[in-house]
Amino acid sequence: MAKLEIVIQDKKHYNQAEKAFNEVRTLLGKANAAMAPSNFDKDANIRKGYEKWFGTISQANVSQVRDVIHSMLVQLRDRYVRLEEDLTEERGTFAYVRGVDVGGGLEAGVTIYLGPKFFTIPLLGYNCQVGTIIHEVSHLVGQTADHQYGEADCLALAKHDPAEAVTNADNYEFYVETFKVL
């Protein structure tokens, strides 16, 4: 089990962050299971969801998505994670990670800084607390970038440039969020 440290003074914010973290682990577990070859290869609905957010299926892209999702799950399930509130951050910021943390995740542990806007959005749904944590964790352990933001732009990215979609943080956010209904 991951060692979770939450550095948040406000009890309501603390509880929101803890609940979001636990839900992220649940959804990543579902996404990880779906991406397993025994499920992915046999279930047309799983492949359809993949194609929606990552585009045309290729062995290389599926392998990359599988690795990133598995790495995110391992990080949040087995390694040190720190959620820290940063109320000094701009009011429009949901969350961020520092560049020095990016890519160092699996062994060193990770810190995700939660901005003021994080605590104003819903737990689940598109552009939610759960999705925000997924987005940031994908930067840390999957070395994803911010090529596009938002549902419409990420759908277009998947359709027109699957190779870039598999490196885009919001595509992982939206893909993993789809497992809340399964």
Measured CA angle at 76 (ends 42, 137), to 5 deg: 85
Q: Which two tokens stand for residue 91?
A: 């009011």
Whether this model's pTM surpasses 0.85: yes
Q: Is 143 left (phi over 0), alpha (psi -120 to 50) or beta?
A: left
Please report where in the chains the tokens 């994080």 appear, as a residue: 118
Cα dist. 114→89, 122, 180 in Å?
9, 14, 22
The residue-averaged pLDDT of 84-88 equals 87
Q: Are 167 and 103 in contact (CB under 8 A)?
A: no
pLDDT digits (tens, 9 = 90+) for 104-137: 555 667 899 999 999 999 999 877 999 999 999 9
pLDDT digits (tens, 9 = 90+) for 37-65: 999 999 999 999 999 999 999 999 999 99
Q: What is the pLDDT of residue 120?
A: 93
Distance in angstroms (rounded) separating the CA atoms of residues 65 and 60: 9
DSSP run (H or E) holding 111: strand 110-114
- The confidence band for 99, taking pLDDT boundaries of 50, 70 and 90, is low
Active site residue 136: yes
- The confidence band for 71, taking pLDDT boundaries of 50, 70 and 90, is very high
Indicate the length of the chain as a whole number. 182
**If we measure between CA atoms, which residue out of 2, 69, 63, 81 comes closest to residue 30?**
69
CA-CA-CA-CA dihedral for 54, 18, 75, 57, to nearest 10: -10
The residue-averaged pLDDT of 92-98 equals 85
**If we measure between CA atoms, which residue out of 119, 117, 173, 125 comes closest to residue 148?**
173
DSSP run (H or E) holding 4: strand 4-7
Q: Which of 51, 85, 107, 136 is catalytic?
A: 136
